[in-house]
Structure 1
Amino acid sequence: MLSVLIPVYNWDIGNLVNALHQQCVAANIEFEIMAVDDFSTDLNSKNANSAIHLPYFQLIELKENVGNAEARNILARTAKFKWLLFLDADMIPAQDDFIRLYLEQIKENDFDIMSGGILYENEVSVEYRLKWLHGKKTEEQIPGKDPYLEIRGNNFLVRKEIFLQNPFGGLPENYGYVDTHFGLKLKAAKARVKIIDNPCIHLGLETNSKFVEKHKKAVRNAFWMMNNQPEMAENLKIIRTYKKMKRLGLKKTIGFLFQKLEKTLLRNLHSENPSLFQFQLYKLGYICTLKTE
């Protein structure tokens, strides 16, 4: 019936697994919960996860780090049921009927992939403020024009055959637009997508400085898509803006200004009150410094 799949790296999944196990048992269904540990380096979380002993739970520990995308693919290939529910390790269901709501949707049988959305806590420490502000604005469930761009990799339900035909991966960096790339592959495959309100709360936030560095990877992925998968890249706002700046002859000027002002922008982004507007300027400036290989 249902395979619940969790890619793990340096995170204690005890609370998540227990919550999911209780809900699956209460639903009286055939299920499995499987986690792949992507060669974690934190011994405390590794030991905690190894100590989870529940019926229908399996932990696979990899001998090398393969990245989040390939960890997902390993989970999908190993899963034994036809419906796959992917959750990131640092998520927790927002509702006690989380599993039941997905099961009700399965009975409708009118989709191939479904995303339940994401929520953030009401307050966070200042060192996590940028990721928190960005997540609340761009990732909490907001109806959009294209549901394929709303698929969140940290909480989605998919038919196994559809996932295996359209696996995660294919971008040079392991972070950034990975979910978008996956959604656009599904769009090209004409998979049926459905967005519902069945969120998980995102607990694992990056510090402001780490979040900026990860988004530089995301910008590099977008730039790569523009040069290698231009039709997909047209769906990305940063690429459309970049092309407009290039047509207007502003690319070199913006790239030059970015290099002069980067430290000033970073002071704001690393501060207690980071500006999302300045974050957008940072990403646009950074992409204007990139060169085609």
Structure 2
Amino acid sequence: MLSILIPIYNFNVIAFVRDLQQQAYNCEIDFEIICLDDFSSEQFKLGNKELNNFDSVIYDELNQNIGRSKIRNLLAQKAKYECLLFLDCDSAVVDSYFIKRYVDAIDNSSVIYGGRSYKEQSPKKSDEHFRWWYGVQRETIRLENRNKQPYDSFMTNNFLVKKTIYQSIKLEETLKGYGHEDTLFGLELKKQNIRIKHIDNPLFHIGLESFEEYILKTEEGIRNLKYLIETNKIDTSVKLYRYYLLLKKFGLTNKIWRYYSNNKKEILQKLQENEPNLRWFDLYKLGYLISLTKP
């Protein structure tokens, strides 16, 4: 009935998989959990080898890193059941009814998205504070707000899809590294009039990057966005692209670029405050996107 698919990269998933396994048993369904490691560091591979002893769990390791999109497409190919539940490895269940809510919500014609959440308490490591703050402020979206923009609110961290639907679209494998594979998938669902059904069934995102790591990943995602713009694969439903076009329309891109270039260090400092104004982060992302388009 249900294939639970977890791509792993540099994270210990033992506790997460154990919780999912027990919840699936409680639902009395046929299931499998496939965990595929995307060439993690040895310490994580050694820790996750315990999965080989788990019933109904398949664990395998790749001998090279193939990236976020390819590994999810490979997991879908390996799955034996028609319902595919994709979950990010750096997640934790919020309660003991996570699997049951998905089983109850299964719909033959829809993609089902459960959401993302963050723990209420700020992380102990100060350099993870910004990633937590951004997640709380921007990624924890209430169900009623997600339903207002069902395609824009979609992420690949926690969703259920029928295998036939997934195989007809798949994730874009030309994108390198981090960012916007979920954007393209959501846009393709929209083009094909495949409904995204939002439910209140989030996972905690617990794999928080340091400030420096997250800035680098953000820049990597914006480089992917530039590629999508150049290849006409996105539309103005992507907020950063929409704002970029507005600035271009009113002849303000050079002004923003100059401010970004002259004040980059100060902007990054502002983002490391205890409760940073995320409009500075929006400005940083716009400035970086514009810098990529400069001759």
- Residue of structure 2 equivalent to 1:112: 110
* Equivalent-residue separation in structure 1 for 2:279 and 2:251 (angstroms): 22
- Residue of structure 1 equivalent to 2:34: 34
Structure 1 window deviating more from structure 2 (272-281 vs 155-164): it is 272-281
- Residue of structure 2 equivalent to 1:149: 152
SS in structure 1 of the partner of residue 190 of structure 2: helix
Structure 1 gap ranges (5+): none
- Residue of structure 2 equivalent to 1:99: 99
**Aligned residue among 247, 255, 258 for 1:256:** 258
* Equivalent-residue separation in structure 2 for 1:170 and 1:37 (angstroms): 17
Native 8 Å contact 2:133 2:275 kept in 1 = no
Aligned residues: 289
- Residue of structure 2 equivalent to 1:65: 65
SS in structure 2 of the partner of residue 150 of structure 1: coil
* Equivalent-residue separation in structure 2 for 1:80 and 1:110 (angstroms): 17
TM-score (norm 1): 0.93
* Equivalent-residue separation in structure 1 for 2:201 and 2:132 (angstroms): 20
Report the alpha carbon displacement of residue 23 of structure 1 after superposing the two structures with TM: 0.8
Native 8 Å contact 2:70 2:173 kept in 1 = no
* Equivalent-residue separation in structure 2 for 1:172 and 1:159 (angstroms): 23
- Residue of structure 2 equivalent to 1:45: 44
Report the alpha carbon displacement of residue 271 of structure 1 after superposing the two structures with TM: 4.4
- Residue of structure 2 equivalent to 1:279: 281
**1:146-185 alignment runs, 5 A limit:** 146-170=149-173, 172-185=175-188
Native 8 Å contact 1:110 1:192 kept in 2 = no
Report the alpha carbon displacement of residue 164 of structure 1 after superposing the two structures with TM: 1.0
Report the alpha carbon displacement of residue 171 of structure 1 after superposing the two structures with TM: 5.0
* Equivalent-residue separation in structure 2 for 1:28 and 1:121 (angstroms): 29
SS in structure 1 of the partner of residue 152 of structure 2: helix
SS in structure 1 of the partner of residue 40 of structure 2: coil
Report the alpha carbon displacement of residue 36 of structure 1 after superposing the two structures with TM: 0.6
Structure 2 gap ranges (5+): none
Q: Deviations over 1:180-237 (max 9, x none)?
A: 221111111221210000111111011111111111122222222222125x231111
SS in structure 1 of the partner of residue 59 of structure 2: strand
Q: CA RMSD in A?
A: 1.7
Q: Deviations over 1:240-269 (max 9, x none)?
A: 111111121111221122111111112222
Which amino acid is 1:115 matched to? Y
1:87 aligns with 2:90: no
SS in structure 2 of the partner of residue 84 of structure 1: strand
* Equivalent-residue separation in structure 1 for 2:268 and 2:211 (angstroms): 9
SS in structure 2 of the partner of residue 169 of structure 1: coil
* Equivalent-residue separation in structure 1 for 2:112 and 2:272 (angstroms): 35
Report the alpha carbon displacement of residue 32 of structure 1 after superposing the two structures with TM: 0.3
Report the alpha carbon displacement of residue 273 of structure 1 after superposing the two structures with TM: 4.2
Instruction: Give the ranges of 4+ consecutive aligned residues of structure 1 lying more than 4 Å apart after TM superposition.
Output: none
Report the alpha carbon displacement of residue 153 of structure 1 after superposing the two structures with TM: 0.8
TM-score (norm 2): 0.93
Report the alpha carbon displacement of residue 173 of structure 1 after superposing the two structures with TM: 3.4
Structure 1 window deviating more from structure 2 (29-38 vs 209-218): it is 209-218
Which amino acid is 2:151 matched to? Y
Q: Deviations over 1:89-123 (max 9, x none)?
A: 111111201111111112xx364210011110112
Report the alpha carbon displacement of residue 170 of structure 1 after superposing the two structures with TM: 4.3
Report the alpha carbon displacement of residue 54 of structure 1 after superposing the two structures with TM: 1.3
Native 8 Å contact 1:112 1:158 kept in 2 = yes
SS in structure 1 of the partner of residue 117 of structure 2: strand
Which amino acid is 1:207 matched to? S
* Equivalent-residue separation in structure 2 for 1:245 and 1:134 (angstroms): 24
Q: Share of identical aligned residues, percent?
A: 35
**1:12-31 alignment runs, 5 A limit:** 12-31=12-31
Report the alpha carbon displacement of residue 151 of structure 1 after superposing the two structures with TM: 1.7
**Aligned residue among 227, 243, 247 for 2:249:** 247
* Equivalent-residue separation in structure 2 for 1:235 and 1:91 (angstroms): 27
- Residue of structure 1 equivalent to 2:76: 76
Report the alpha carbon displacement of residue 292 of structure 1 after superposing the two structures with TM: 7.4
Native 8 Å contact 2:70 2:171 kept in 1 = yes
* Equivalent-residue separation in structure 2 for 1:171 and 1:263 (angstroms): 32
